[in-house]
A and B are shown apart, each in its own frame.
Chain A
């Protein structure tokens, strides 16, 4: 098993006719993902290297049986594209696009929630289940199948840690990039819950960064709900405090959102936190091998 994407994934890519959309969509297909269709309004009837293109996602669902949508359209058109995907009948929407207005995402988040559609991202690298399917921009060559589930706010940092795990001879059940935007479809706790239920996953690596309180919430969730070992990494210890305006952000969560606060919250719940990506991978391997 694995989570979010697997051998059952039938992918429809919004933005497949664009440069990045076709590059990564076809890479996903080359990896073995079943690429069922592309969608670009007005370009229905065309094809991209044999992949049929439709005017709407619903059409791709109806005609090709697509069950997973990947959004690769420019930021200002992306929220409506995600909304379209949510209403199209797919079960999973993976939004790669970065720069989507936050309050647009707020509305879209609740639409996904009400429709019972799993939304990953936006501004995320996607999901890879090694040996099964890759949906997004994760370079799959750095990840082998194995028992470690990874969930991360950061794309490149995930590749870094995955690569370190591979060099240590370990692999992954899935790698989920949840994205670093203020409003994302799935948080750490959503993905941690999926890994807990996934029999193939024996250990979870969680990669966070400064800002928000998702890591602090995850710490509480891990203590209450997760029986599998979790190893974490937090980026941003030397990040400048930056210009802080109102104090309201800290009032909400009671946390300053700093890397140290997140590390402390996780360690207080027994989660080991690595100092660097390399050390994090090392701890994960150590814990896994007992």
Chain B
């Protein structure tokens, strides 16, 4: 779960990291009113979950109310694409904050290193630019140190990292303090990635987080209900519906609706459908132990996408019981007007019972296949050309 910049900054402020004061606004008038209260110059910053906002024109400095209005009009509602073409991300909100008098721009982050099973702290004197490029072109400029999991990560522990990064002497204590607090944010808020780029030093030699990228562990949202509720909800109707129903769904561009159990099998199903010449319409992992109701929900979400012309159910039961899936399909077909063909492949736990249930129900428009490849070929054939 990714937080918007201003949500991240609010967390920083709660943990005692200095951030510029600001206000969030969803309309041009509100943005201008906020700018008037904050004073000029101020920054108008698009709130979207993608990097490279500045280059995309999503961050502007306003010298007066007129400029604030012009920038807010340009930014609110604009579509921002990521550096690798991700998106579009429609700007629904802007963050208006006081302008900062920047003396230096640094980089600081604390992130989970899956491979080493430790938090990794990173600091660089070369902030304010693409840190990936810095890491590649001048690897020594990015100092990386793992956090010892057996003891608290204090400012004293952080200090050698800051020294190694060669930051200005007079602010090293403050930056070390910020780094320790980032680790505290990670532990306290279940954040697996916290990146501050830039971490600035002002003309008055204050250390301030000018940006915030924070990812909260989705498994820990039960401990952070407020964050979970504040986190951006998808504006895609299917994704929003799926989220409400507790399904793991990602919308794609094609016309072959897909449901599989388990993320790995679902990804593999997408790959195999693509290899068979089809275009998947979605990723939907029905999860372990899929119950009949979950199948009804899943079919409701998949069929609400009008592009879908055929659906593939690829189930290999472990914790999932095929009889429950079959019952779900039968129940769903009674509740939903299933207008598109459904190809079903059931294998694994209780598959014989599942196949018997489907055979007895003899649903129209339902095609059974025994192998994954045959099922993929069949659904692609039934779906017809995409678009």
**Which A positions have Cβ atoms within 8 angstroms of B?**
20, 24, 75-76, 98-104, 106-107, 109-110, 125, 137-139, 142, 152-160, 163, 180, 182-183, 207, 209-210, 212-214, 217, 233, 235-253, 259, 275-278
- A167→B149 CA distance, assembly (Å): 46
Chain B: CB-nearest residue to A100: B219
Which of the 9-residue segments B12-20, B263-271, B302-310, B326-334 touches chain A?
Answer: B263-271
B361 in the interface (beta carbon within 8 A):
no
- Listed by A's residue number, 16 A-B pairs whose Cβ atoms lie within 8 Å are A101-B190, A101-B219, A159-B347, A213-B115, A235-B265, A240-B250, A245-B51, A246-B109, A246-B111, A246-B193, A248-B195, A252-B111, A252-B113, A252-B144, A276-B268, A276-B272
Task: Judge whether A244 and B50 touch: CB under 8 Å.
Answer: yes
Query: In the complex, what's the smallest C-beta–C-beta distance from A259 to chain B, in angstroms?
Result: 8
Task: Judge whether B132 and A276 touch: CB under 8 Å.
Answer: no
Task: Judge whether A102 and B265 touch: CB under 8 Å.
Answer: no
Contact with A along B203-246 (1 / 0, CB 8 A): 00000000001010101101100000000000000000000000
Q: A98 contacts which of B132, B288, B316, B349 (Cβ < 8 Å)?
A: B288
Query: What A residues does B347 contact at CB under 8 A?
Result: 142, 159-160, 163
- A111→B73 CA distance, assembly (Å): 54
Query: What B residues does A75 contact at CB under 8 A?
Result: 219
**Which B positions have Cβ atoms within 8 angstroms of A?**
2, 49-51, 82, 84, 86, 89, 109, 111-115, 117-120, 122, 130-132, 135, 142, 144, 149-150, 186-187, 190, 192-193, 195, 197, 213, 215, 217, 219-220, 222-223, 250, 252, 260-265, 267-268, 270-275, 280, 283, 288-289, 316-320, 347-349, 371-373
Task: Judge whether A251 and B135 touch: CB under 8 Å.
Answer: yes
Task: Judge whether B217 and A214 touch: CB under 8 Å.
Answer: no
Query: In the complex, what's the smallest C-beta–C-beta distance from A94 to chain B, in angstroms?
Result: 14
Query: What B residues does A110 contact at CB under 8 A?
Result: 117, 149-150
Chain A: CB-nearest residue to B265: A156
- A154→B260 CA distance, assembly (Å): 12
Query: What A residues does B89 contact at CB under 8 A?
Result: 243
Q: Could you list 15 further interchain pairs (A-B, Cβ under 8 angstroms) beyond the known A106-B112, A159-B316, A247-B130?
A: A101-B190, A154-B262, A154-B263, A154-B264, A159-B317, A207-B264, A214-B115, A238-B252, A239-B270, A240-B252, A244-B50, A247-B132, A248-B131, A252-B115, A275-B271
Task: Judge whether A139 and B111 touch: CB under 8 Å.
Answer: no
Task: Judge whether B117 and A244 touch: CB under 8 Å.
Answer: no
Known: A103-B187, A245-B213. Is A276-B115 also a contact (CB below 8 A)? no
Query: In the complex, what's the smallest C-beta–C-beta distance from B276 to chain A, in angstroms?
Result: 10
- A141→B319 CA distance, assembly (Å): 14
Task: Judge whether B220 and A101 touch: CB under 8 Å.
Answer: yes
Chain B: CB-nearest residue to A212: B114
Task: Judge whether B319 and A137 touch: CB under 8 Å.
Answer: yes
Task: Judge whether A246 and B220 touch: CB under 8 Å.
Answer: no
Chain B: CB-nearest residue to A99: B219
Query: What B residues does A239 contact at CB under 8 A?
Result: 267, 270, 283
Q: A238 contacts which of B115, B271, B288, B318 (Cβ < 8 Å)?
A: B271
- A181→B262 CA distance, assembly (Å): 13
Task: Judge whether A252 and B371 touch: CB under 8 Å.
Answer: no
Known: A182-B112, A245-B215. Is A209-B319 also a contact (CB below 8 A)? no
* Residue among A100, A238, A249 facing the most chain B CB atoms (10 A cut-off): A238
Q: A247 contacts which of B120, B131, B372 (Cβ < 8 Å)?
A: B131
Known: A100-B219, A101-B217. Is A152-B192 also a contact (CB below 8 A)? no
Task: Judge whether B193 and A249 touch: CB under 8 Å.
Answer: yes
Query: What B residues does A250 contact at CB under 8 A?
Result: 132
- A75→B190 CA distance, assembly (Å): 15
Task: Judge whether A160 and B268 touch: CB under 8 Å.
Answer: yes
